[in-house]
A and B are shown apart, each in its own frame.
Chain A
Amino acid sequence: MMRGFVSVYRKELYLLFASPIFYAVAFIFLVLNGYFFYSSVAYYNLLSFQAGQNPFMAGQLNLMDMVVRPLFMDICIVLLLVAPLLTMRTYADERKTGTVELLFTLPVTDGGALAAKFLGVLTVLFVLLAGTLPGMALLEYLSDLNWKAVLCGYLGLFLLGSAFMALGVFTSSLSRNQIIAAVLSFGALLLFWVISWMSSVLGPGASRIIEYLSIIRHFDTFSKGVLDSRDVIYYLLFIAFFLFVTLRQIESYRWRG
């Protein structure tokens, strides 16, 4: 049982890291984050230079609020962009090349294979996020960083990214075409992102629900350095739901043949 899971996980890792998609995605991800990092640090620099002449302003300056939090939001947006590209091949490619027949007839449960595939894309997510850590280390070197808050933000990023991945794995199980899988997951994720914009139009009851559904609202508390169990639970539920429907989708795929 465990061996089947480990073997599929290793296979997924190999295929993920052997594919040019990963390198293209990692390149774009790091370049964009480098740009965002540089611009927010430059801005902060300018402000602190002005604050040198204005003691009142100096009290307002805060590295966390002015650099780290905007940076986290930028990472969220880039993740939204790249997550569908990382998950699109998960099942679609296996169906297209027919290897799904191999995978589904090995003595590995569907759940085990899904867990291995999901953990595979989470590993890539982890690597991407780890790639942004040198920037944080640089901030720590230049000034003092509140590491507890930063780690809290990273936990939020990882949970948010995992939720993106869960939805992406699901859309990948819907089609044998990777492009369709990517487009579907990008669209659905964007919808979950902007859904809270409706809240001001709706009545108080409905707006509460819509606010709760919004995938990005739950990240706010993390980025402030606050760990709220309700937000953690939201992301875990989101992930569990999409993995569950993926499993159902695979089951129905087997029946249809």
Chain B
Amino acid sequence: MIEVQGLTKFYGTVPAIQDVNFHIHKGEVVGFLGPNGAGKSTTIRILTCYMPPTAGEARVDGLDCFQKSLEVRRRIGYLPENVPLYNEMTVRRFLRFVAQAKGVEARELPREVDRVVDVCGLERVRNRIIGNLSKGYRQRVGLAQALLNNPPVLILDEPTIGLDPTQIVEIRRLIRDLREDHTILLSSHILPEVAQICQRVLILNKGRIVATDSPDALTAQLQKSAKIALTVEGDGRQLARALETMDGILAVQLESNHHSRLILETDRSRDLRPEIARKVVEEGLGLLELKAMDLSLEDIFMQLVTEEAPVEEGAVEASETAEEGK
């Protein structure tokens, strides 16, 4: 449904994305991940025909985004980053405008507007001025606008940013309900969100795709070590030193603000939990919690994004050892 090949965009002489390639099949829900400035919005803006690429091509439904721009725009519902809306208009007037611009017939207009108002839960505010709405409702109006005329492709640029937790859950539920009959590309910083909603993630860093797979596959592929969370009753500093020397434990991290919680990084080949429990008792502390932690998508993301710069890491280590030597 969406094909991107060799996509490159320069702002002046600064490259925002370089040689980006990916395919999204019909009916897929794909998450677009990347740190700030990775080029997510740039890629999305090319796909939605807001700007042409410097090189490469993007196709939606087999149509080139640059040459068949209008055709492509008819097939896409787009929620831009920061949700720009005409603040002077009422919700209903705004939705009528977008529906009409998208080619909904005059007879169908009220019904189509009512449909998206219903889907996005906007009944209560439909006659309010958009400028006076809360951020959560603005986001919903943006989403409602994207859904008008029922386009087969939805492109959502950070749909949950800046919302409170209940609103985030609501919007996510909304997007999940849309999975049935839409191809969805959504960008985000929030990794668990992408893991929950998407079948596949594209990870973008510094303008290049660094990984693409399902969240589970990525987790399995990159899980080099297992983490164990340990909470004890009392001061854990003594325990931390004892555990550091234990066979199979790669690193011990003591949470700085209270010394009773430790994160242990262990060898994946065997389960060290019984031994750790014994050690805690030996130290004369009470064991409150001991559990294996899955490597979260967040960790993977950090790994992918930071592995890009091994030189810098090496440099930091070198300087640290130099200081220790003094």
Chain A complexes with chain B: yes
Give A contacts to B, CB under 8 Å: 3-4, 6-8, 10-11, 14-15, 18-19, 97-102, 104-109, 254-257
B105 nearest CB across to chain A (Å): 8
The bracket for how many chain B residues form the interface is: 20 to 34
CB contacts (< 8 Å) of B74 on chain A: these are 107
Option from A100, A107, A254, A256 in Cβ contact (under 8 Å) with B101: A107
How many residue pairs at the A-B interface have CB separations less than 8 Å?
Answer: 81
Evaluate contact between A104 and B50: CB separation under 8 angstroms: yes
Bound together, the chains give a CA A98 to CA B83 distance in angstroms of: 8
Q: Is B45 an interface residue (CB 8 A)?
A: yes
Q: Give a binary string over B86-128; 1 marks a CB under 8 Å from any A CB, 0 the rest.
A: 1111000100011011110000000000000000000000000
Bound together, the chains give a CA A98 to CA B89 distance in angstroms of: 15
CB contacts (< 8 Å) of B45 on chain A: these are 101, 257
* With A105-B73, A109-B70 as contacts: A99 and B85 at CB distance below 8 Å: yes
Evaluate contact between A14 and B93: CB separation under 8 angstroms: yes
* With A104-B50, A254-B51 as contacts: A18 and B101 at CB distance below 8 Å: no
B43 nearest CB across to chain A (Å): 12
Q: Is B9 an interface residue (CB 8 A)?
A: yes
> Interface SS of chain A: helix, strand, loop or mixed?
helix
Give B contacts to A, CB under 8 Å: 9, 11-12, 42, 45, 48-52, 70, 73-74, 76, 78, 80, 82, 84-89, 93, 97-98, 100-103, 145
Evaluate contact between B101 and A3: CB separation under 8 angstroms: yes
CB contacts (< 8 Å) of B11 on chain A: these are 256-257
B133 nearest CB across to chain A (Å): 15
CB contacts (< 8 Å) of A4 on chain B: these are 100-101, 103
Bound together, the chains give a CA A11 to CA B89 distance in angstroms of: 9
Evaluate contact between A106 and B73: CB separation under 8 angstroms: yes
CB contacts (< 8 Å) of B82 on chain A: these are 98
